[in-house]
Every structure is written in structure tokens, then in C-alpha cells.
Amino acid sequence: MISAKSRSCFSDLMKVSSGRRLGSAMVLMAGSCLVAGCITLNAPDKPIVIELNIKIEQDVVYKLAPDVQQTVAQNKDIF
Amino acid sequence: MAQAFDSVASARLPVVRQMMAGAVAAGLLALGAAPAMAQDRDPAYAAARAAGQVGELPTGYLGTVGSVPAPVARLVEDLNIKRKSVYAQHAKEQGTTIEAYAFTSGCLQIAKTAPGEKYMGTDGQWHVRGKDKPMRDARCPE
């Protein structure tokens, strides 16, 4: 079981870490694998928050687009 | 000067506003003054765009590509100040931020680039506009 946990930890590690952080992340992951197990190391819910932000801004952009188009047409010299 | 609007904008404008714009333009012409709006690009600006010295940024402003002659850099600075002034005025009317208004404009400006002109893609690199759709932010409208 320990070896199975270690392997899933390592695959998570490969996805998450990159570059110089690999070394320190490896040590951290190895420690957490031994002490707490890998189940607690799920992907954070941050990406969901970012997606929501994009959606809100996209709504704003769509709403503004007709007015921006008119503004640009009236100021051709600077666009 | 109704013909000065492009077809999309004129389709959106109420008839009354078009008539008013025409009356104002006619009045200005009668007084011998040039109409303040819908002038074409300064020839130096048009040349810098065509030469690829100036490109459109996703932020709604112009950028200089690599090192450019000082007059071109000044031109870009001047145009960006004018753009910001226009963005600020309309953003206030629309109850939004200058950044959001400018970003929306950036989407449209990049979409409107002619083949051979430059724009900055979502990768932060300058691209030469080809026949295909440009690389734009996912939030940009079609």
C-alpha cells in the first residue's frame, strides 16, 4: 500500500511542480506522503474561482462591445 | 457626414442621431471648419502600422515592436493618451472601468488588424496578422 501511495504522489508531483521548485516540492511531497498520505493532496479549488472570474468579465466585454464599436468608428484617426 | 460611419455603426445608430450628426457636420463645413470626428489616420501612423513598427496590444493600446525611431515612439505615446481619454469618457458613461472598456477595444482592434499588421497574442509575443483569425483572449467577443 505504501508503494501505491508513493506512486500516486509522484504523479501528482509531476503535474504540479516544474523547474527549480521540483527539488523542494519533491522533499515536501515525500514528507507528506509518509506522514499524512496522499488523499489530502487533491487539486485545490482555485481553478474554479478563476473560471468564474473569466465568465463575469466576458459578460462585461460582450455588453460593452457595441458601444466600443461605435466609439472606434467615431475616432478613426486614433484607431 | 453619415457616410463617415462604417456600416455596422450606422446600422446601430438611431435615424435621429444620424440626422443630427449630418446637420452638425454640414454646419461645420459651412463655417469652413473640418469635422472633428471620423478623420482618417495620420499618414505617419498608417505608415508605421504598415511597416510593422506599431502593433495592437490586447489592452486596447498601441505598442512599439522592437526599437523604433523616436518620432514613431512619440506618435504611439500620443495616440495612446488620446485613446485613454476616449476610453475614460465612454467607460464612465457605461458605468464600467477604463480597463474593461479598453480591453474590449483591444479585442476589436486585434480582430480588425489587416493582413501584415502586427498584434500581440495571448502568449505575449508579437504576431503578424495573416488570413486566419488572430490569437485573442478567450473573453473577446466574436
Are residues B60 and B33 located together in one domain of the fold?
no
* Residue A76, pLDDT score: 94
Per CB-CB distance under 8 Å, the chain A contacts of B108 are 65, 68-69, 72
* Residue A37, pLDDT score: 58
**Minimal C-alpha gap between B140 and chain A (Å):** 7
Contact B141 A62 (CB under 8 A): yes
Residue A51 has pLDDT above 70, yes or no: no
The interface pTM score, or ipTM, of the predicted complex is 0.70
Are residues A1 and A16 located together in one domain of the fold?
yes
Are residues B66 and B103 located together in one domain of the fold?
yes
Are residues B32 and B55 located together in one domain of the fold?
no
Whether B136 is covered by a domain: the verdict is no
pLDDT category at A44 given cuts 50, 70, 90 is low
Local mean pLDDT, 10-residue blocks, chain B (142 residues)? 41 51 47 56 95 96 95 96 97 94 96 95 95 93 86
Are residues A36 and A53 located together in one domain of the fold?
no
- Does B42 contact chain A (CB < 8 Å)? yes
* Residue B116, pLDDT score: 94
**What average pLDDT score do residues A55-72 get?**
88
Count of domains forming chain A: 2
Are residues A50 and A60 located together in one domain of the fold?
yes
Q: Could you tell me the end-to-end alpha-carbon distance of chain A, in angstroms, rounded to an integer? A: 64
pLDDT category at A58 given cuts 50, 70, 90 is confident
- Does B14 contact chain A (CB < 8 Å)? no
Please say whether the beta carbons of A43 and B70 come within 8 A: no
Whether B139 is covered by a domain: the verdict is no
Are residues B77 and B34 located together in one domain of the fold?
no
- Name the β-bridge partners of B62: B56
Are residues B9 and B74 located together in one domain of the fold?
no
More confident residue, A25 or B109: B109
Nearest to B129 by CA among B111, B117, B141: B117
Contact B38 A75 (CB under 8 A): yes
- Does B113 contact chain A (CB < 8 Å)? no
Are residues B114 and B100 located together in one domain of the fold?
yes
Range of the domain at A28: 1-42
Whether B47 is covered by a domain: the verdict is yes
**What average pLDDT score do residues A22-30 get?**
56
Residue A70 has pLDDT above 80, yes or no: yes
The residues on A that touch B, with CB distances below 8 Å, are 54, 57-58, 60-62, 64-79
User: Rounded to whole angstroms, how far apart are CA atoms B86 and B36?
Assistant: 14
> Of all helices (H) and strands (E), which one includes residue B11?
helix B7-12
Smallest Cβ–Cβ distance between A79 and the set B90, B103, B109 belongs to B109
* Residue A24, pLDDT score: 59
pLDDT category at A5 given cuts 50, 70, 90 is very low
Whether B133 is covered by a domain: the verdict is no
- B77, closest residue in chain A (CA to CA): A78
Contact B90 A68 (CB under 8 A): yes
Range of the domain at B8: 1-39
Q: Which of A22-31, A36-45, B24-33 holds the top average pLDDT?
A: A36-45
More confident residue, A27 or B105: B105
Are residues A38 and A1 located together in one domain of the fold?
yes
Are residues A56 and A35 located together in one domain of the fold?
no
Are residues A6 and A37 located together in one domain of the fold?
yes
- Does B8 contact chain A (CB < 8 Å)? yes
Are residues B61 and B103 located together in one domain of the fold?
yes
User: Rounded to whole angstroms, how far apart are CA atoms B136 and B70?
Assistant: 29
